[in-house]
Structure 1
Amino acid sequence: MSSHTASVHFKVRVRDLHAHQWDVELVLQQPQELQRLTAWLDALRGFFNPTSVCLIAVGHETQTHTIDIAQPEACPHWRVATALHAVKTGANGFGLYQAANYDELADSPVEMADFWAGEFVARGVSHRVVVTGAAPSFDGERLLADMQKIVETEIRFWHSAGKPPHDRYVFLINAVADGYGGLEHSHSTALMCKRDDLPRTDQLALSDGYISLLGLISHEYFHTWNVKRLRPASFTHYDYTQENYTSLLWFFEGFTSYYDDLLLCRAELISPAVYLKLLGKTINGVLQTPGRQVHSVAQASLEAWTKLYRPDANSPNLSISYYAKGALVGLCLDLTLRKTGHHLDQVMRHLWQHCKAGPMNEEDLLNALKALTGRSWHREIKAWVHGTAELPLRELLHAQGVDIIEENSPLAQQLGLRVQENHAVQIQTVLNGSAAEIAGFAPGDEWLGVAITGNRRAPASAWRIKRIDQLPSLLGKHKNFTALISRDGRLLQLPLRMPTQSAKQWRLGIAQAHKVGLWLSGKQP
């Protein structure tokens, strides 16, 4: 992401009351600086989350809020896209908008640009799609058609033949040179993707990048139910003056991550084989992270503000993603339920109805599982969510007709390294207990070359490396060698030994098509 900012004139008299509170005496209409993560303004585009530019009028939070969005004189072709209710707007959407209260205003991002726009209707509800920054080859009609399949599949997941809980929805997609992510809102979502990941008119096949984008769209739209309405009890009333904590992100983000690609398969946008490839990637990511053995997903959820959003070089050794492992907890629950003739979809719908599309806690999930199966699930939740023992993935996948093929991991993973390779090998993370840790590697090192241990022909025994996958050709049959490292301007020689047993990763295949088909289609076992 770019760190550039765009400035416009702004005057304000502010008296500090608290770290997150100010007494504002006079505010002119324009903000001084807009940051890209929360707000952005330049000659190409304007975007803001109201939490970034609209201060709370203390004592008036529950009253109707209006916001007047003025069109910049230098940008006559810009239009506005937002889920806010229009009160009085011009042809391009600039003008007066209204929110029922500050919460609704805060939950309604605004996009301003000369964007591409399209629309489709699902279950009687308009879904608007805007894409800023698309190249001329962008295939908007294909994106619309694929997004409609996702939306209709997810509405059917939650409501069978009913309507969704929202009366309108807006997808705000910002296509950039390099970026990925999304943020859910009750009636919209703000997404960022690589420009190259958008579908092209000259490309019929699904690219990996486009599949990733569709998965992101599926993920954020699923949040319309699972986090924006069905939400942690601690989020019943938002406190904008501080971080809001919950130990349930493994459910709200993790289970959403379990369903995002699965629902692409149910929408027939990807094949079962492609889905299993994506699932295998998630499984390998968790199994190759030592932090899973010391950090539970419940802890990871509660510490999101201090760990997930503030990662460092040692994070993989000390923490686990509640997105990835939470998704695997959802997988394990689903496949375990299927042994009893039930499935996780039923649990999600039970929670939606029982909690009245509102606040919930972990006990509600346990009650839903017991109501469905007649037995307690405390043991599984304690082990899988609050513990750090390995999940029973192999057993459950085999029982569901999935074949697990073990293959050698990439060489960097076998050595215990996470690296960045761009004309040089930069060490980002050294994994606990690995050969690289034993040798003395450290984050920030640059791996310059290798020398074969015990070879007296000095000129021929030392080699420069730019990629770790060069090692087999340079070392031949030698297992012991010296790594030449640059650290803080000094050169080091670290004795390194190749692992005698190669670390493995999983590749998933279909052993019993009928069983796999029942699972992926969401049909009763």
Structure 2
Amino acid sequence: MPRATTTGVRFTVSVQDANAHLFAVTLLIEQPAKDQRVSLPVWIPGSYLVREFSQHLQNLQARQDGHPVAIRQLDKNHWQADSAAGKPLELRYEVYAFDASVRTAFLDSTRGFFNATSLCLRVAGQETRPHALEIAASGHTQGWNVVTGLPAHSVDAAGFGHYRAADYDELADCPVEMGRFWSGQFTAGGVEHRFVISGAGAWLDGERLIEDTRRICETQIAFWHGDGAPPFSSYVFMLHASADGYGGLEHRNSTALICQRADLPRLRPSTSDKPAALKATDGYTTLLGLISHEYFHTWNVKRLRPAEFKRYDYDAENFTELLWFFEGFTSYYDDLILRRAGLIDDTAYLQLVAKTINQVQQTPGRHLQTVAQASFDAWVKYYRMNENTPNATVSYYTKGSLVALCLDLTLRREGHTTLDAVMRELWQRCKGALMREADLMRALKRLGKRSFDGEIAAWVHSTADLPLIDLLQGQGAKFTHDKAPLAQQLGLRVSETGGSVQVKTVLRGGASEAAGMAAGDEWLGLELAAVRRGGAAEAWRIHKLDDVQMLRGQRTRVTALVSRDNRLLKCPLDWPTESQAVKLGVADAAHLGKWLSD
């Protein structure tokens, strides 16, 4: 490994065995301390759960001055080498990588991906020194390319070679994708953007994806800076297309994304020289919303961020009550940006808003947990979902986005400012850095010409419902009701696979809870009383939830036959009154346009 006097911490990452999913890592500490300590993070910023990355680290060895050095584990993620001070210390180890999410590391014969929080040990006392990363080519990587947001120092045409980071935080914030991937480029705000996709087929309509992503980026850069330049000199989108997956994780000048392969834009085979594009699907709109969401985070959470995140503690949870702002407000703007970029129309946007409203309204936990509490509890509740989660919690993504909507429409109704202006005020006031709730309150008061303490107390720090109907109708939206899905009417969340109805969640206060049904039940059938005197009772097998509606006829009570722990149980189910779901449409296009096209 080449030496460099300006870099005291140097990593080399290579593919040791793709079939065994093993990365090999070498760490050279040029000026170690006596009894040098190292550690591996337990979480990755942006994903608020302790994930214990050290579980995948193995075969850790140390050498100094050409001789083996004892190294012992101090706790779950810290080690100490019996090193002398000053002489270069070399650590070698392996990392098992077979998690295809955006949060950790993955390696097989087709691709590799990693976040430094999963592979790169932190050197105690040297976290703020420059770090170097070499991504080494090998026989396993023949024909592969590398992409990352890290500044290149000396790399070959495929991207293998040496990269630099100012400190460990920058290293941790720049994931690496390697393999055979589709690649495209565009310029937005005067900055080069690269988009790479692993797992796509030849049918990919890459031109459409690039153009649509460019429009999203141009719209967001203009949102934050007008004609100014963004706070990064390059940007990389890394998308993995899989059979079944969805998610994203933001970084300072890149993002890692996962989508279902079927949601990518496709070309229709044609007899002409250039195949025609297929019509956009709902899945593709969802993908564009994900792209928009993670790109918006480049400003809102990666730079403008909670004061509690001044310096990440990689060894433990980092608590904040502000995820309703940083995730929720980003969730408000992700789809709104699609509308402003001309990628969806008013009707499509309002349908997305209605979907969010219904998700919150159909969550009984909203009556128990404030959205500020949900932010603080993310580490133990949101990221540890179970069958009771909807009954005990509310999502800071969905309710937070509705808080943003209510603030925006209130500000617009009063005529002094908009939430757009408030966001830009916060960017300037906090200098794109640390923010507290008090900063938001000051910006709202200064631009909105009054205190918004009452609204924030009611919408963020209480479990009161939001004034959505009044505000949306006042902005030109048509507010109606539609029949709720059957599962929601019954107070259930189910899966239907292979002709079996599996109960996943029983919602608090619903008809199914009153009947005694429980998560984990398999709903096998119905017992039905005779309709008329002298008639016979009936029992029927069901294979999907809609069978229940069809079989019950006009009966107001049925008996659900369920299997629980291989016992057959009867649950008397009183049919609920019909529940409603929100439906939004366009009432006043001109008035609506002042909001959606601003």
Q: TM-score, normalising length from structure 2?
A: 0.85
Deviation readout 1:172-202 (Å, 9 max, x if unpaired): 0000000000000001000000011110011
Preserved contact between residue 129 and residue 170 of structure 1 (Cα < 8 Å): yes
Structure 1: state its 5+ residue gaps: none
* Partner residue, 2:91: 27
* Partner residue, 2:563: 486
Match of 1:12 among 53, 60, 65: 60
Preserved contact between residue 417 and residue 436 of structure 1 (Cα < 8 Å): yes
Identity of aligned residues (%): 54
- Structure 1 segment 295-374 matched on structure 2, within 5 A: 295-341=369-415, 342-374=417-449
* Partner residue, 2:521: 445
* Partner residue, 1:434: 510
Distance in 2 (alpha carbons) for counterparts of 1:30 and 1:489: 44
Task: Label 1:60 to 1:416 Cα distance change in 2 as closer, same or farther (>3 A).
Answer: same
- Secondary structure at 2:122 match in 1: coil
Task: Label 1:186 to 1:329 Cα distance change in 2 as closer, same or farther (>3 A).
Answer: same
Preserved contact between residue 60 and residue 94 of structure 2 (Cα < 8 Å): no
Alignment root-mean-square deviation, CA: 1.6
Distance in 1 (alpha carbons) for counterparts of 2:260 and 2:487: 26
Match of 2:219 among 153, 157, 166: 153
> Are 2:365 and 1:263 aligned?
no
Deviation readout 1:152-188 (Å, 9 max, x if unpaired): 0000000111010111100000000000000000010
- Secondary structure at 2:406 match in 1: helix
Distance in 2 (alpha carbons) for counterparts of 1:369 and 1:31: 48
Task: Label 1:360 to 1:460 Cα distance change in 2 as closer, same or farther (>3 A).
Answer: same
Task: Label 1:235 to 1:378 Cα distance change in 2 as closer, same or farther (>3 A).
Answer: same
Task: Label 1:6 to 1:457 Cα distance change in 2 as closer, same or farther (>3 A).
Answer: farther
* Partner residue, 1:508: 584
Deviation readout 1:50-75 (Å, 9 max, x if unpaired): 01000001111111100111123133
Preserved contact between residue 530 and residue 538 of structure 2 (Cα < 8 Å): no
AA aligned to 2:394 is I
Preserved contact between residue 5 and residue 40 of structure 1 (Cα < 8 Å): no
Distance in 2 (alpha carbons) for counterparts of 1:149 and 1:375: 35
- Secondary structure at 1:425 match in 2: strand
Larger Rg: 2
Distance in 2 (alpha carbons) for counterparts of 1:33 and 1:218: 28
AA aligned to 2:432 is A
Match of 2:264 among 198, 206, 218: 198
- Secondary structure at 2:356 match in 1: helix
Distance in 2 (alpha carbons) for counterparts of 1:416 and 1:151: 40
Distance in 2 (alpha carbons) for counterparts of 1:449 and 1:72: 58
Distance in 2 (alpha carbons) for counterparts of 1:98 and 1:286: 44
* Partner residue, 1:377: 452
- Secondary structure at 1:147 match in 2: helix
Preserved contact between residue 21 and residue 241 of structure 1 (Cα < 8 Å): no
Distance in 1 (alpha carbons) for counterparts of 2:530 and 2:551: 15
* Partner residue, 1:176: 242
The offset of 1:34, in angstroms, is 4.7
Preserved contact between residue 216 and residue 338 of structure 2 (Cα < 8 Å): yes
The offset of 1:458, in angstroms, is 8.9
- Secondary structure at 1:418 match in 2: strand
AA aligned to 1:383 is A
The offset of 1:233, in angstroms, is 0.3
Distance in 2 (alpha carbons) for counterparts of 1:226 and 1:277: 25
Deviation readout 1:52-107 (Å, 9 max, x if unpaired): 00000111111110011112313311000001111111111101111011100000
The offset of 1:29, in angstroms, is 6.0
Deviation readout 1:3-48 (Å, 9 max, x if unpaired): x972467631441223332125753264344533300110011000
Distance in 1 (alpha carbons) for counterparts of 2:428 and 2:108: 45
Preserved contact between residue 151 and residue 221 of structure 1 (Cα < 8 Å): yes
* Partner residue, 2:284: 210
* Partner residue, 2:30: none
Match of 1:221 among 267, 288, 295: 295
Distance in 1 (alpha carbons) for counterparts of 2:393 and 2:367: 9
- Secondary structure at 1:304 match in 2: helix
Preserved contact between residue 530 and residue 536 of structure 2 (Cα < 8 Å): no
Q: How many residues align?
A: 518
Match of 2:596 among 510, 520, 525: 520
Distance in 2 (alpha carbons) for counterparts of 1:137 and 1:460: 55
Distance in 1 (alpha carbons) for counterparts of 2:159 and 2:545: 53
- Secondary structure at 1:218 match in 2: helix
Deviation readout 1:176-230 (Å, 9 max, x if unpaired): 0000000000010000000111100114311001000000000000000000000
Distance in 2 (alpha carbons) for counterparts of 1:277 and 1:69: 45
Deviation readout 1:446-485 (Å, 9 max, x if unpaired): 0000111346889871111111112222111112111000
Deviation readout 1:471-501 (Å, 9 max, x if unpaired): 22211111211100000000001111111x2
Structure 2: state its 5+ residue gaps: 1-18, 25-57, 62-70, 83-89, 269-276
- Secondary structure at 2:74 match in 1: strand
AA aligned to 1:215 is G
- Secondary structure at 1:164 match in 2: coil
Distance in 1 (alpha carbons) for counterparts of 2:20 and 2:580: 45
Distance in 2 (alpha carbons) for counterparts of 1:359 and 1:390: 30
Distance in 1 (alpha carbons) for counterparts of 2:436 and 2:213: 31
* Partner residue, 2:136: 70
Match of 1:292 among 356, 366, 389: 366
